[in-house]
Amino acid sequence: MEKGNQSLVTEFILLGFSASPQIKIVLFVVFLAIYLVTLIANSLIITVVRSDSRLHSPMYFFICNLSFIDLCYSSTNCPTCLDGLFSETSTITFSGCVTQMYMGFSLGSTQCILLALMSWDRYVAICNPLNYPRILRRSVCMRLTIATWTAGFLLPIVHVSIIMTVPFCGQNRINHVVCELAAVLHLACIDTHLIQAVIFLFSVITLVAPLSLIIFTYLHIISTILRMPTSTGRHKAFSTCGSHLTVVTLFYGTAIAMYMSPRSLISRENEKVVSLIYGLMTPMLNPLIYTLRNKEVKGSMKKMFSRYITWHMLKS
């Protein structure tokens, strides 16, 4: 494809929501509040886990990584969304748009793999508890995490490579709140059916492969729990998996709706709403789900705040 065609577009205009100025102000305040809660909640979980030695276990190590992904993902998309609501027109350079898409895909792919890794952690803890410390040693967790981040950032190179070769021929008005791949491809001045098929295939691999591992591990986990002799043991085992299952359902539900649903069944406005749930709500809800359902994390938070208040009172 000729680079000359592509050079005609140096920036994109994000159309955002077709709403009145009053509604945009309300949305700006709501999205800003969501973003701030996301930053505070995820930063708090990372701080609590790192500061409390009792939480230095594989499960909380993976939760810290999840919180860091949520911080990065919300910071990739939310400022652009807020700018579109605050300004009459929101523009983004071609390179900035490609970077935003790459970061979104990379962080999403990393989270897919990380959630599968977290399910395997629960599988070992419940189905093979005696060997848990040996199997999930600190060095093993570090290597698995490095491999997860590496794979997550390598897989979307295919998507970016495709976008870099697509000619836009001067069309630069994206009917979305952020640089979303399907909305950007809609501006291409060539037939993109083959491109969309390739991207769909990679999306299936990225989403379905980790999800299959999660389903496989939880079938074994449920089977093991049902064989436990006491109801107390079964309740404790289920409670350790509840938060992870909730996060998996929320993440994969919105991700599948975004990347695997037929475009003909989703209107442009509904696509924007799903994108916002995936990009803004999920990173905010993840730490709240883990915090509200986890006694250890809540206990550590109380102690941390208690120490801070005591220190502040002694200092003053």
pLDDT at 7 (0 to 100): 46
pLDDT at 262 (0 to 100): 62
CATH number of the domain residue 25 falls in:
1.20.1070.10
Three-state SS for 207-245 is HHHHHHHHHHHHHHHHHHHHCCCCHHHHHHHHHHHHHHH
Q: Which domain holds residue 255?
A: 3-315
Residuewise pLDDT in 10s, the chain (316 residues): 444 444 467 888 888 776 677 888 888 898 899 999 999 999 999 998 888 888 888 999 999 999 999 999 999 988 888 888 877 678 889 889 999 999 999 999 999 999 999 999 999 999 998 999 999 999 999 999 999 999 999 988 888 888 888 888 777 888 888 888 888 888 888 888 888 888 888 878 888 889 999 999 999 999 988 888 888 778 877 777 888 888 898 888 888 777 666 655 556 666 777 777 778 888 998 888 877 667 777 777 777 777 767 766 677 6
Q: CA–CA separation, 125 vs 135, rounded Å? A: 10
Using DSSP bridges, classify how beta strands 90-93 and 173-174 pair: parallel, antiparallel or unpaired: unpaired
Q: In which region does residue 218 sit, left (phi positive, over 0), alpha (psi from -120 to 50) or beta (all else)?
A: alpha
Predicted structure pTM score: 0.87
Alpha helices, DSSP H, located in the chain: 3-6, 21-51, 58-86, 94-127, 132-135, 138-154, 157-165, 181-185, 193-226, 231-259, 268-276, 282-292, 295-315
pLDDT at 43 (0 to 100): 93
The tokens for 166 are 């697509």
Measure CA 42 to chain center.
12
pLDDT at 3 (0 to 100): 44
For the chain, how many structural domains are there in total? 1
Q: Which helix (H) or strand (E) segment is 174 a member of? A: strand 173-174
pLDDT at 36 (0 to 100): 94
> Which DSSP category does 78 fall into?
H
- Based on C-alpha coordinates, what's the Rg of the chain? 22
